[in-house]
């Protein structure tokens, strides 16, 4: 029997770029496992931004209702166990790697016998491990987040109670397609016959593409723009009106106006699941929102005798704009004075650093550019050159831990200074590892890729 370290090295060695991407392998692997997805009911969540937050909120609501619930998300911040949660806890390492060992044996036999068209990828193996865990741990309901896109995502083997597409924006264009309509079509691939789908506040091209898919397969389409309204209730509380009722006095543990929109989507998604038999009372919805935790999204870490650290995984223009608005809103509302702020910034392939920098330029006083600990990180010197040309006060510290220390010194020169870590979810993971003294293997070199409908293919630049 292989040790967990040996299995992890093997798992991380499952490279994606040389493989042909399809859904057949995920279906075949699921079948070899005995179709564990049939043992639980699910909510399927896709989207450019917000899908992880919506998934975490829906999971928290189910837990508040006393339902044994699972959550599958990606990527992880520090260790792969984070991707699979059962009730309130991430899966234990031994339990995960026992299943990975079993899956390796199944996959090797399946390739030899012809039952599998190719060897599964890292993401396909993790998805199968999650579904096995949910089935074997007798989870009744699971919230399943798409890894990338939707149509060819390994999670798309499930038939859920309902599906959600949170947002659609220009992201992963080399993989999902060059237009909003192309990207929306990939995400709309999770829509299945007869299964209700909830569309977030989408641009018109994306909304039309999702509506066309829903009509084509006979899926009831619910649009946030028609069905949801959000109002400020004062004192930090808000109300959400849905076709079923108005939820008042809500408090979301995740900060930012964008999280209120995510909360509204999670509420409506749970209502759609409730219409199909999931028992989640209104009080559980409020309780779940108040208790939800989603690390790395406007996450504040205070350390004795050091500036505060604010971690947010904004890695595209829309995410950066939401972060900038959240920072400004906290200052406008008096929740926090304007701080002298130093950003630790790192970007990965496929991103335009200036598109992330620009919304945040007015909220950040100095920038420390670093290299996230993953092989697809952009060269910090090149990124710093772009920021400097745009007028930023910037310096380069190549290694993330040293960059955090340098930013803390800079922020500490001014009373009330703050360090913002952003630009990449991988960099946020690096920061959490250092600041919270966490152990974990970090990230695989590459995540799963897939071709968009036009046939293009590239390594995932997430």
Res 448: pLDDT? 42
**Span 11-39, average pLDDT:** 83
Q: Are residues 119 and 205 in the same domain?
A: yes
CA distance 278 to 392: 51
CATH number of the CATH domain containing 414:
3.90.190.20
Three-class DSSP category at 302:
coil
Residues 6+ apart with CB under 8 A from 413: none
Res 334: pLDDT? 56
Q: Are residues 338 and 208 in the same domain?
A: no
Res 182: pLDDT? 80
**Span 246-259, average pLDDT:** 94
Q: Are residues 166 and 57 in the same domain?
A: yes
Res 268: pLDDT? 98
Res 256: pLDDT? 87
Confidence of residue 306 (pLDDT cuts 50, 70, 90): confident
Nearest CA to 347 out of 266, 428, 437, 241 is that of 428
Q: Are residues 303 and 410 in the same domain?
A: yes
**Span 95-123, average pLDDT:** 95
Query: Is the residue at 143 inside a domain?
Result: yes
**Residue 301 pairs with which residues in a beta bridge?**
309
Res 235: pLDDT? 82
Assess whether pLDDT exceeds 70 at residue 409: yes
CA distance 436 to 300: 12
Query: Is the residue at 424 inside a domain?
Result: yes
**Span 296-307, average pLDDT:** 87
Assess whether pLDDT exceeds 50 at residue 462: no
Write out pLDDT tens, residues 429-458.
999 999 999 988 877 765 443 333 333 333
Residue after which a domain boundary falls, among 291, 311, 344? 291
Q: Are residues 358 and 240 in the same domain?
A: no
Q: Which structural domain range is residue 363 located in?
A: 299-435
Query: Cβ(92)–Cβ(81) under 8 Å?
Result: yes
Query: Is the residue at 396 inside a domain?
Result: yes
Res 34: pLDDT? 97
Query: Is the residue at 149 inside a domain?
Result: yes
Dihedral of CA atoms 79, 299, 313, 386 in degrees, nearest 10, equals -120
Res 174: pLDDT? 55
Which of 129-143, 296-310, 405-419 tops mean pLDDT? 129-143
CA distance 80 to 62: 23
Q: Are residues 287 and 314 in the same domain?
A: no
Q: Are residues 100 and 227 in the same domain?
A: yes
CATH number of the CATH domain containing 219:
3.40.1190.10
Query: Cβ(58)–Cβ(266) under 8 Å?
Result: yes
**Residue 163 pairs with which residues in a beta bridge?**
44, 197
Report the number of distinct structural domains present in the chain: 2
Query: Is the residue at 183 inside a domain?
Result: yes
Assess whether pLDDT exceeds 70 at residue 21: no
Res 415: pLDDT? 66
Q: Are residues 277 and 371 in the same domain?
A: no
Assess whether pLDDT exceeds 70 at residue 114: yes
Write out pLDDT tens, residues 343-366.
999 999 888 999 999 999 999 999
**Span 89-103, average pLDDT:** 96
Q: Are residues 286 and 303 in the same domain?
A: no
Confidence of residue 460 (pLDDT cuts 50, 70, 90): very low
Q: Are residues 227 and 357 in the same domain?
A: no
Query: Is the residue at 454 inside a domain?
Result: no
Res 56: pLDDT? 98
Q: Which helix (H) or strand (E) holds 421?
A: strand 418-422
Q: Are residues 356 and 304 in the same domain?
A: yes
Residue after which a domain boundary falls, among 233, 257, 291? 291
Supply the mean pLDDT for the chain.
90
Write out pLDDT tens, residues 168-221.
875 555 566 567 778 888 899 999 999 999 999 998 988 999 999 999 999 999
Residue after which a domain boundary falls, among 242, 265, 291? 291
């Amino acid at each position: 029997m292989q040790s967990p370290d040996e299995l992890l090295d093997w798992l991380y060695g499952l490279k994606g770029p040389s493989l042909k991407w399809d859904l057949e392998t995920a279906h075949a692997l699921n079948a070899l496992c005995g179709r564990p997805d049939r043992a639980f009911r699910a909510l399927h969540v896709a989207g450019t931004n917000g899908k992880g937050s919506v998934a975490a909120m829906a999971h928290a609501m189910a837990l508040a209702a006393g339902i044994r619930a699972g959550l599958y998300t990606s990527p992880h911040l520090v260790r792969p166990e984070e991707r699979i949660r059962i009730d309130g806890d991430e899966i234990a390492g031994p339990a995960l790697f026992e299943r990975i060992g079993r899956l390796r044996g199944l996959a090797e036999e399946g390739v030899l016998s012809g039952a599998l068209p190719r060897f599964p990828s890292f993401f396909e193996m993790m998805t199968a491990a999650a579904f096995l865990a949910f089935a074997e741990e007798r989870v009744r309901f699971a919230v399943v987040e798409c890894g990338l896109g939707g149509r060819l995502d390994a999670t798309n083997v499930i038939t859920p109670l309902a599906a959600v597409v949170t947002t659609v924006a220009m992201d992963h264009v080399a993989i999902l397609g060059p237009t909003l309509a192309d990207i929306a079509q990939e995400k709309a691939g999770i829509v299945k016959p007869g299964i209700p789908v909830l569309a977030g506040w989408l641009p018109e091209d994306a909304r039309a593409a999702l509506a066309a898919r829903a009509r084509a397969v006979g899926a009831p389409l619910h649009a946030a723009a028609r069905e949801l309204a959000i109002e400020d209730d004062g004192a930090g509380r808000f109300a959400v009106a849905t076709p079923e009722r108005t939820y008042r006095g809500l408090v979301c543990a995740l900060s930012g106006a964008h999280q209120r929109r995510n909360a509204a989507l999670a509420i409506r998604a749970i209502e759609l699941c409730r219409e199909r038999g999931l028992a989640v009372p209104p009080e559980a919805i409020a309780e779940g929102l108040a208790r939800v935790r989603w690390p790395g999204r406007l996450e504040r870490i205070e350390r004795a005798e050091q500036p505060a650290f604010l971690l947010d995984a904004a890695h595209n223009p829309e995410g950066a704009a939401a972060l900038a608005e959240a920072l400004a809103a906290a200052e406008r509302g008096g929740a926090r004075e304007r701080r002298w702020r130093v950003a630790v910034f790192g970007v990965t392939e496929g991103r335009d650093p200036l598109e992330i920098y620009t919304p945040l330029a007015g909220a950040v006083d100095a920038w420390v550019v670093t290299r996230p600990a993953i092989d697809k990180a952009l060269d910090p010197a090149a990124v710093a050159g772009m920021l400097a040309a745009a007028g930023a006060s910037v310096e380069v510290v190549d290694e993330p831990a040293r960059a955090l220390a340098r930013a803390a010194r800079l922020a500490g020169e001014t009373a009330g200074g703050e360090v913002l870590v952003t630009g990449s979810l991988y960099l946020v993971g690096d920061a959490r590892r250092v600041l919270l003294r966490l152990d974990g293997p970090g990230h695989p070199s590459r995540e799963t890729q897939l071709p968009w409908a036009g046939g293009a293919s590239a390594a995932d630049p997430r």
